[in-house]
Amino acid sequence: MNKYLRITEFVWLAMAAVAAITTIYMFIIGARENGIFCLMITLFCAVMWNMRRMFNRRIQRDAAKREAETKK
């Protein structure tokens, strides 16, 4: 399961990076409305990546606590 959680974290990060590049491209070519839409997608992907990252860290912390308690 840990591998799945890491993969989803990197997928959101990759999507945020692609959306950021698309946003920059849209603003460069002058498509302002499309650029703003892509910017919203970039922000959404960044928020989802951050939520996934925090969730993964919490799961790892809880697993470490359970492992330490079982060793006692």
pLDDT tens, residue by residue, 47-56: 999 999 999 8
Q: What is the pLDDT of residues 3-21, one digit of tens each?
A: 888 899 999 999 999 999 9
Q: Which two tokens stand for residue 6?
A: 């890491």
**Structural domain spans, the chain:** 2-66
Global model pTM greater than 0.75: yes
Residue 41, exposed/middle/buried by CB under 10 A (0-12, 13-18, 19+)? Answer: middle
C-alpha 53/C-alpha 64 separation (Å) is 17
